Amino acid sequence: MKKCISLILIVVFISAFLCGCGGFSSKEVEAVILSKTELALTIGETGELEVSFEPKKAQEDVSWSSENENIATVEDGKVTAVSIGTTDIIAETASGKSAKCTVTVSNVKVTGITLSSTDIQIDVGETTQITATVTPEDAPVGNLEWESSDTSVATVNTQGYITGVADGQAQITCSDAGVEAVCHVTVGEGATTAPTTAPTVPETTAPPATEPATTAPVVTDPPVVDTDTDTNSGTAGDSYDSGDFVFPESSTSYLTDSRISDRIASATLYSPTGDYAQDAINEIYARNGYEFQNKYVRSHYEGMSWYTPGGFGGFNSLNAYEKYNLKLLSEYI
């Protein structure tokens, strides 16, 4: 009899414990949040949508649907553009909570991005906005990505609002499928001091002001220059962006290892030297009017609208950004 009573008490205790602690219950989903509320795609292109919940620990199964599958389809958050038009992609839980992303499908791709500012200074805690204009004008803008090179100095949201976090310098990049534009941001007193990663570069450590390019790709004729667009193409559809520079910011800000490695890894453009790091070094000299002796390099820059040969004053005529970037870029050759 005592054993029976003990067993009953144990069962009652366990049941009460589970009920009191909510052992098998989970937090109810109050809201569904998608990683994007707007998405711009070209026909045949795909995009990813990620879902999260409020509160964050809540979990529920999600079903995906498209209001018009003739324009775009969706499967587990992967959106595929089918034809020109606009439709909504909807993520919905079993309890009826939902969120939507408006998808715009066109047959026009972004080929250029221009920012309203390329060099700004703000105080710690201050917020300002820069806007992006795309080329061509009828290209969709719903797929622009914004990123800060150093979020401990400045942050940026999906609308281009930049907030100063701490004294220093950072690069804000706006991009779409490999096309990008950069704004240099100085926060607080950062304008008068270089970041800790950018020490003063002694003249002896910089690349010599002689012909930077010593080799050329194996070709029988100089590369063809497209004088209509001032760009040279290696792969159809590819071109130097932001004024035909590999690194448009190399004369106004300090490059970083991650910026250089990412750009070199993603580049698929014509290279007059066969090396994008060497091209980036050459363009610093070219920007200052250096007259190249290598015929391939000379032909390349003579096709650029911004190149004015002559008047190069030697290494000491370069600014601090250029001297530092020359040294850093030389490590990638």
Highest mean pLDDT among 75-84, 106-115, 239-248, 282-291: 75-84
Encoding tokens for residue 140?
Answer: 């969709």
Q: For residue 7, name the pLDDT band (cuts at 50, 70, 90).
A: low
Listed residues 191, 213, 240: the one ending a domain: 191
Phi, psi angle pair for 143, to nearest 5°: -110, 10
Q: Please tell me whether residues 236 and 295 are part of one structural domain.
A: yes
Q: Does residue 297 form part of some domain?
A: yes
* Parallel, antiparallel or unpaired: strands 85-93 and 51-54: unpaired
Query: Residue 66: pLDDT above 70?
Result: yes
pTM for this predicted structure: 0.37
Q: Please tell me whether residues 123 and 99 are part of one structural domain.
A: no
Listed residues 79, 106, 133: the one ending a domain: 106
Which tens digit of pLDDT belongs to each residue from 95-125? 888 899 999 888 777 888 999 989 999 988 8
CATH value at residue 128: 2.60.40.1080
Q: Does residue 131 form part of some domain?
A: yes
Q: Does residue 23 form part of some domain?
A: no
Which tens digit of pLDDT belongs to each residue from 230-278? 333 333 233 443 346 778 888 887 788 888 887 777 776 667 777 778 8
pLDDT at 236: 29
Q: Please tell me whether residues 83 and 147 are part of one structural domain.
A: no
Q: Does residue 19 form part of some domain?
A: no
Q: Please tell me whether residues 208 and 322 are part of one structural domain.
A: yes
